[in-house]
Amino acid sequence: MAESSAVPVRDASTVVLVRDGADGIEVFLQRRVKQMAFAGGMTVFPGGGVDPRDRDADIRWIGPEVDFWADVFSTDEASARALVCAAVRETFEECGVLLAGTTDAVHDDPAALFSERARLEAKEISLGEFLAAQGLVLRADLLRPLAHWITPENESRRYDTRFFLASMPDRQEADGETSEAAETKWMSATAALADWDAGNHFLLPPTWTQLRDVASFTNVDDLLAAQREISAIQPTISDGSGIAGLRFADSESYLAALSDGRGQKNLSP
């Protein structure tokens, strides 16, 4: 596909929600319903597109300021603001975890805001409106930059996605109360990768890569403290070759399960 005919990309945020577990760092995963237009049937982290209403919103938050996120994710400040807001909003919408509260405490009962969560998901209100109405402060200090992936040019839906890390807040519970997920669960990053190798679920390259990153650490504190230089990754794919034609750093390792007899199971999410 010629570059001029590539589908425009949409800014999006994805949040890798983590906690310490008996078998290593655990991540919160969703298996998307097969009817979803993008990544249907695949195992993913919570996330979604930005809300343009958040680009210039006057949102109270603590933690790294907008210029930090703009610099680390190579974008302008208005887009950075929307990306951070999308990370917080999508995490709340998709699993009920609210990375907001007061300046010195995270909200300890987001389940009490279920009706507002539904209004956010229905796009009846923006995140900024929700936070202001509830007197909440966005807790950007709970987020860490992780990665930046762009959908290949020959895909029909394309996203310019920034990945964030967040530790699961104390006294909160992640749930599966979203119409976008057929199944949700906590799973160690190592086990999630083993299931990919066995063909038990399908992982897109960005998900697989972030799981490998998480699995390389022994605890959440060390994972969050790690310094990363974020560079955009945009895989290429040969026309007509399907997923076997994907090329990106470590793509050979990713595609290994597709060449040893287990791949056909992976190719049918």
pLDDT tens digits along 117-132:
999 999 999 999 999 9
Pairing of the two strands 24-32 and 181-188: antiparallel
Q: Does residue 225 lie within any of the structural domains?
A: yes
Q: Where in the sequence is the domain holding 211, given as residue range(s)?
A: 9-266
Q: What is the pLDDT of residue 95?
A: 94
Report, as ranges of residue numbers, the positions in the chain whose pLDDT lies below 50: 1-3, 35-37, 261-264, 267-269
Q: Does residue 116 lie within any of the structural domains?
A: yes
Q: What is the pLDDT of residue 260?
A: 57
Q: Does residue 222 lie within any of the structural domains?
A: yes
**CATH code for position 38:** 3.90.79.10
Q: What is the pLDDT of residue 233?
A: 94
Say if CB 253 and CB 215 are below 8 A apart: no
pLDDT tens digits along 87-120:
999 999 999 999 999 999 999 999 999 999 999 9
Q: Does residue 2 lie within any of the structural domains?
A: no
Say if CB 70 and CB 77 are below 8 A apart: yes
Q: How many domains does the chain have?
A: 1
Say if CB 159 and CB 39 are below 8 A apart: no
Say if CB 153 and CB 6 are below 8 A apart: yes
Q: What is the pLDDT of residue 180?
A: 65
Pairing of the two strands 158-167 and 143-150: antiparallel
Q: Does residue 31 lie within any of the structural domains?
A: yes
How far apart (Å, rounded) are the C-alpha atoms in residues 193 and 191? 5
Q: Does residue 112 lie within any of the structural domains?
A: yes
How far apart (Å, rounded) are the C-alpha atoms in residues 239 and 237? 6
Q: What is the pLDDT of residue 202?
A: 86
Q: What is the pLDDT of residue 167?
A: 97
Q: Does residue 1 lie within any of the structural domains?
A: no
Q: Does residue 26 lie within any of the structural domains?
A: yes
